Structure 1
Amino acid sequence: MEVNNVKAYGTEAAEASLDQLNINRRKPTAHDVEIDILYCGVCHSDLHTARNEWHNTVYPCVPGHEIVGKIISVGDHVTKFKVGDMVGVGCIVDSCRECEYCKEGLEQYCEPGMTGTYNSPDKYLQDTPTFGGYSESVVVDENYVLHIPDNLDPAATAPLLCAGITTYSPLHHWNVGPGKKVGVVGIGGLGHMAIKIAKAMGAHVIAFTTSQSKFDEAKRLGADEVVLSKDEEQMAAYRGKLHFILDAVSAEHDINAYLALLRVDGSLALVGAPEHPLPVAAFSLIPGRKSFAGSMIGGIAETQEMLDFCGKHNIAADIEMINIDQINDAYERLLKGDVKYRFVIDMASLKNK
């Protein structure tokens, strides 16, 4: 297969910093589009993978799955896009297309396994992992590419490709809307999007935070009420009141304290990914017929639905723009929670290096 050599930023080992390297991209095949990457969001998953914290990283590793750019070439049989279109690529660049979940538009749950935007076996280039958006360009099958609404800022739209769909999908699946009281736990990259989206869906949104300093922020993002989760009296006031809770916390925390806030038949969906198991008491679930669930990103059709919803409601992420050579510092700040609320790389800073 013919390839193009492009500039990227990645790492050769878990303990190494990210630095400039060159990678191969396939030349577009019949159904491919080639995208000039303009912006790439920085997800906590990027950090986990670069540092092999999930113990599955293949090196060299080029992270990045919140990609926005312009199409610069298309394959001969492409029908959904044309040169010049502003498009997005999220966490999925391929899947088997044949299993029951792919056929249902749930490519994220593909039985043989979806092809991730990075750190998956590349279907086209043998013995090579897929490489993500910390790069000049990317080539993706048109069926896994998304239209970006014209009215949204492209840079602030990039995080929607992961943080947006990771929160939209469970809110949509559990029918969040008018008349529903919805809790959002954790006000970070995921949580700030959950507040905005749940509010736009018409729900009454209650934000939970361990930090008094985030009260005004949560209100600005759209929360109707804010609760200091360390205050037992404040928490007790919501006992048995909530229809749904979206938990976006990746640190260890007491999940039973939040399950207690659900009404009968209420559900809590975890989208944060704590390193260690969270103990769940049987009697946190049994008396109220409550559900404790998880959710992972979303399929391609649902991701497009989310982008269109965000376009309609003028929703984008709160971002801090960085240059590519600031990525190692950004990772350290990410570990400290020192970002409001998503780093986005201006990829012109790589092209100009």
Structure 2
Amino acid sequence: MITAYAATTTGGTFEPISFDPGPLASHDVEIAVQHCGICHSDLSMWQNEWGMSRYPLVPGHEVVGTVSALGAQVTHLKIGQAVGLGWQAGYCMTCSTCMGGDHNLCDQAQGTIIGRHGGFADKVRAQAASVIALPEGLDMASAGPLLCAGITVFNPLVQFDIKPTDKVAVIGIGGLGHLALQFVRAWGCEVTAFSSSQSKAQEARDLGAHHVIDSRDPKALKAVAGQFDLILSTVNVKLDWNSYIGALKPKGRLHLVGATLEPLQLNVFPMLMKQRSVSASPVGSPQVMADMLAFAAQHGIRAQTEHFAFEQVNEAMARVESGHARYRVVLSRD
């Protein structure tokens, strides 16, 4: 049996449940959950903002724990090994996308909390291909957010061949942004933080930003016109996107990893004349996730976390919903 915390209605209170997951599939892994980060996507699923939630809902897709059981065909992991599980819990493993190494883009990719129970539980199951061994030197208590927020901001650096000599800006200093600043700085780039909260300016510098710009100041945005190779937006709100397009160098890219729900209003001419582009991406493939964790361990990159006991899940979700967490909330067992 697995015990978990589930909401039975949209935005409802989390209550304990127990369920029998049945026999472990031959290519699956069961993880004894020690820590589980809470992502804004958990909040969106809890409140059914995307219209795909099924109840009872057990969120949790930033899972860190140890292998408690292995399917008969799993040979690359071992019982007791420290592992992590992120947004995706399985792939078809046969399509051209999977075979090309882009498992995260598979049409049949299974969400860890979409149509299945996630990590707000004592155990969680997933396809072995989606379960990532944690490298030595990585702090397990703060590693959970790397498995979603971390890979989300790291993946574009790999996909777009960002160079150490590039100038990169990050919009938003929150759950995603505070990790993006650390990754981009360790990558070797000149880093600028755009933030609407000047109280975070020094903190942004401590996290790796060389420069901090007040995103509410139109003059400040104009002053950096044509400067950036990449602008990484981690926010989920509507902004004056054309001002950020104008801040790109020729062939520069505005890349969205925050789930902005409103349509983008873009002027094509400034993009056309300078061959600028706008793109977006989800999490990364299992191999890129493994590389990201190794990079984080090597450079001492870690999420800033606030910890709650699993029994405090309702208080923890309220903390995330308030927007006051600095910067990620994690459920932890002693």
- Local SS of the residue matching 1:308: helix
Deviations 1:102-122 (A, max 9, x none): 1112112113x2111111xxx
State the distance in 2 between where 1:77 and 1:290 align: 47
State the distance in 1 between where 2:311 and 2:31 align: 22
Is 1:339 the counterpart of 2:325? The answer is yes
Identify which of 100, 104, 110 aligns with 1:108. Answer: 104
After TM superposition, give the deviation of residue 256 of structure 1 in Å. Answer: 1.2
Partner residue in 2 for 1:158? 144
Partner residue in 2 for 1:68? 64
State the distance in 2 between where 1:27 and 1:302 align: 30
Structure 1's 67 and 239: CA in aligned 2 closer, same or farther, altered over 3 A? same
**Does the CA contact (< 8 Å) of 1:25 and 1:138 recur in 2?**
no
**Does the CA contact (< 8 Å) of 1:134 and 1:347 recur in 2?**
no
Moved more, 14-23 or 93-102: 14-23
Q: Which amino acid aligns with 1:117?
A: T
Correspondence 1:11-160 to 2 at 5 A? 11-111=7-107, 113-119=108-114, 129-160=115-146
Structure 1's 236 and 220: CA in aligned 2 closer, same or farther, altered over 3 A? same
Identify which of 250, 261, 285 aligns with 1:299. Answer: 285
After TM superposition, give the deviation of residue 50 of structure 1 in Å. Answer: 0.9
Correspondence 1:236-247 to 2 at 5 A? 236-247=222-233
Deviations 1:286-335 (A, max 9, x none): 22110000011011111111111111112111111112233333333323
- Local SS of the residue matching 2:161: coil
State the distance in 2 between where 1:85 and 1:15 align: 35
Structure 2: unaligned runs, 5 residues or longer: none
State the distance in 1 between where 2:187 and 2:206 align: 17
Partner residue in 2 for 1:124? none
State the distance in 2 between where 1:175 and 1:258 align: 21
Partner residue in 1 for 2:257? 271
- Compute the TM-score of the two structures, normalised by the length of structure 2: 0.96
Correspondence 1:291-330 to 2 at 5 A? 291-330=277-316
Q: Which amino acid aligns with 2:56?
A: P
**Does the CA contact (< 8 Å) of 2:316 and 2:331 recur in 1?**
no
Deviations 1:97-139 (A, max 9, x none): 111111112112113x2111111xxxxxxxxx31100000112
State the distance in 2 between where 1:162 and 1:303 align: 9
- Local SS of the residue matching 2:263: coil
State the distance in 2 between where 1:262 and 1:146 align: 35
After TM superposition, give the deviation of residue 284 of structure 1 in Å. Answer: 3.7
- Local SS of the residue matching 1:26: coil
After TM superposition, give the deviation of residue 274 of structure 1 in Å. Answer: 1.8
Structure 1's 335 and 285: CA in aligned 2 closer, same or farther, altered over 3 A? farther
Instruction: State the number of aligned residues.
Output: 334
Identify which of 173, 178, 187 aligns with 1:201. Answer: 187
Deviations 1:42-66 (A, max 9, x none): 0000010011111111111111110
Poorly superposed stretches of 4+, deviation over 6 Å: none
- Compute the TM-score of the two structures, normalised by the length of structure 1: 0.91
Partner residue in 2 for 1:222? 208
After TM superposition, give the deviation of residue 31 of structure 1 in Å. Answer: 2.8
Deviations 1:227-255 (A, max 9, x none): 01111222222100100010001112111
Q: Which amino acid aligns with 1:221?
A: L
- Local SS of the residue matching 1:189: coil
Moved more, 15-24 or 154-163: 15-24
- Local SS of the residue matching 1:343: strand
Structure 1's 24 and 255: CA in aligned 2 closer, same or farther, altered over 3 A? farther
Partner residue in 2 for 1:259? 245
RMSD: 1.4
Deviations 1:8-53 (A, max 9, x none): 0111110412221123323323333221100000000001001111
**Does the CA contact (< 8 Å) of 2:38 and 2:320 recur in 1?**
no
- Local SS of the residue matching 1:312: helix
**Does the CA contact (< 8 Å) of 2:146 and 2:302 recur in 1?**
yes
After TM superposition, give the deviation of residue 204 of structure 1 in Å. Answer: 0.5
Q: Tell me the percent identity.
A: 37
Structure 1: unaligned runs, 5 residues or longer: 120-128, 349-353
Identify which of 275, 290, 304 aligns with 2:276. Answer: 290
